[in-house]
């Protein structure tokens, strides 16, 4: 019996992208086609295979068990194809994509990237911003920078800590001047980032301090916006040293009570058991940069000392 012809590669690619992103719109954006084109490819694939791959309302499709199994195998297969192409281009420039916390990328990573590029001119680094949990099976990235707490699990991921975490109150020089009292700090508006609403409680616990209720709280979507608000004099913020070091160095921000070290660390994540010399080079460079990155210049003694 003559074997059945395999489905078109475009249909398989469209289905894999839909499954990985969980939606037609994101898949269409990745493939640079229309939403309707992805939908038609998925429907055609189902018809050719004679198997239901997705179920549910048109705008809330989910994978069937058969669809989930096929998607998982396709993701691995396309990754293998990508690796084969990279191997064929070993004499060409290699591009890696690194997912990174947005403020960390802006304040710490990108200013240092020229050093990596000088050491490894054959490797291009594309930085994408994300705060989401990392799932290498569903996203086409080569590595990720996140903050990890002690004991935090990372299934099927290699975790490399490369930078300690310090946090402390910061503000504009005329709002949080050196020598200010903790009582004065307690009367200031408290700035938060929605990605880490508990920042003030965490810092207070680290330094053994109980602050009175905030007279006013202002929340921003991300740390970068919160830091800009602090620099504009809108209140005080608890910020990681890695995010504010450049602004403190220029005097745009001040940290009157220093920075307390947290048990969490900045880490580099990569897929486990997926060797890649370019990703190895980036990981090793991060570790080296973390080792020479300046610690907070203000002693982490806490406001009570």
Q: Is residue 303 part of a domain?
A: no
Q: Mean pLDDT over residues 48-56, rounded?
A: 87
Write the pLDDT tens digit of every residue in 101-129: 999 999 999 999 999 999 999 999 999 99
Q: Mean pLDDT over residues 18-41, rounded?
A: 84
Q: Which residue from 269, 42, 52, 237 is spatially nearest to 153, judged by alpha carbons?
A: 269
The predicted pLDDT at position 29 comes to: 79
Task: Give the pLDDT band of residue 2 (cuts 50, 70, 90).
Answer: low
Task: Give the pLDDT band of residue 8 (cuts 50, 70, 90).
Answer: confident
CATH code of the domain containing 16:
1.10.10.10
Write the pLDDT tens digit of every residue in 255-296: 999 999 999 999 999 998 888 999 999 999 999 999 999 999
Token pair 């699990």 in the structure block, residue? 153
Sequence-distant (6+) residues with CB within 8 A of 88 are none
Task: Give the pLDDT band of residue 27 (cuts 50, 70, 90).
Answer: confident
**Domain ends where: 88, 111, 126?**
88
Minimum mean pLDDT range among 61-75, 189-203, 220-234: 61-75
Q: Could you tell me what percentage of the chain is helix, strand and coil, using 3-state DSSP and rounding each to the nearest 5?
A: 40, 20, 35
Is the pLDDT reported for residue 55 higher than 90?
Answer: no
Please answer whether residues 188 and 281 qualify as being in contact, where contact means their C-beta atoms are separated by less than 8 angstroms: no
The predicted pLDDT at position 305 comes to: 46
Q: Mean pLDDT over residues 239-252, rounded?
A: 95
The predicted pLDDT at position 93 comes to: 58
Both structure tokens of 2:
């003559």
Please answer whether residues 37 and 28 qualify as being in contact, where contact means their C-beta atoms are separated by less than 8 angstroms: yes
The domain tally of the chain equals 3
Please answer whether residues 282 and 141 qualify as being in contact, where contact means their C-beta atoms are separated by less than 8 angstroms: no
Provide DSSP, 139-200: S--SEEEEEE-TT---TTEEEEEEEEEEEEEEB-TTTS-TT--HHHHHTSPEEEETTBTTHH
CATH code of the domain containing 116:
3.40.190.10
Q: Is residue 213 part of a domain?
A: yes
Q: Mean pLDDT over residues 184-201, rounded?
A: 94
The predicted pLDDT at position 121 comes to: 94
Please answer whether residues 270 and 158 qualify as being in contact, where contact means their C-beta atoms are separated by less than 8 angstroms: yes
Write the pLDDT tens digit of every residue in 77-97: 887 777 676 666 554 558 999
Write the pLDDT tens digit of every residue in 140-153: 899 999 999 998 98
Rounded (5°) CA angle 103-98-42: 115
Same domain, 66 and 139: no
Please answer whether residues 230 and 237 qualify as being in contact, where contact means their C-beta atoms are separated by less than 8 angstroms: yes
Q: Mean pLDDT over residues 230-253, rounded?
A: 96
Structural domain for 42, as ranges: 9-88
Q: Is residue 249 part of a domain?
A: yes
Same domain, 112 and 192: no
Burial of 65 (0-12, 13-18, 19+ CB in 10 A): exposed
The predicted pLDDT at position 264 comes to: 95
């Amino acid at each position: 019996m003559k074997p059945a012809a395999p489905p078109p590669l475009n249909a398989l690619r469209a289905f894999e992208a839909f499954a990985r992103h969980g939606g037609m719109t994101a898949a269409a954006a990745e493939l640079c086609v229309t939403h309707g084109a992805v939908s038609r490819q998925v429907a055609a694939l189902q018809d050719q295979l004679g198997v239901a791959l997705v179920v549910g309302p048109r705008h809330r499709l989910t994978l069937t068990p058969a669809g989930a199994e096929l998607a998982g195998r396709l993701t691995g297969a396309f990754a293998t194809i990508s690796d084969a192409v990279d191997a064929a281009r070993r004499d060409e420039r290699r591009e890696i994509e690194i997912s990174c916390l947005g403020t960390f990328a802006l304040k710490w990573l990108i200013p240092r990237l020229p050093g990596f590029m000088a050491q490894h001119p054959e490797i291009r680094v594309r930085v994408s911003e994300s705060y989401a949990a990392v799932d290498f099976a569903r996203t086409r990235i080569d590595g990720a920078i996140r903050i990890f707490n002690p004991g935090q699990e990372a299934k099927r991921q290699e975790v490399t800590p490369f930078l300690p975490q310090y946090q402390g109150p910061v503000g504009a020089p005329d709002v949080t001047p050196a020598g200010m009292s903790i009582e004065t700090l307690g009367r200031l508006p408290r700035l938060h980032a929605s990605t880490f609403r508990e920042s003030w409680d965490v810092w207070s616990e680290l330094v053994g301090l109980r602050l009175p209720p905030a007279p006013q709280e202002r929340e921003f979507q991300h740390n970068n916006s919160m830091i800009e608000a602090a620099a504009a004099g809108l209140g005080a913020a608890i910020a990681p040293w890695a995010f504010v070091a450049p602004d403190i160095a220029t005097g745009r921000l001040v940290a009157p009570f220093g920075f307390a070290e947290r048990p969490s660390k900045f880490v580099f994540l990569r897929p486990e058991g997926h060797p890649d010399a370019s990703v190895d080079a980036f990981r090793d460079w991060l570790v080296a940069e973390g080792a020479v990155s300046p610690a907070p210049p203000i002693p982490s003694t806490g406001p009570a000392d």
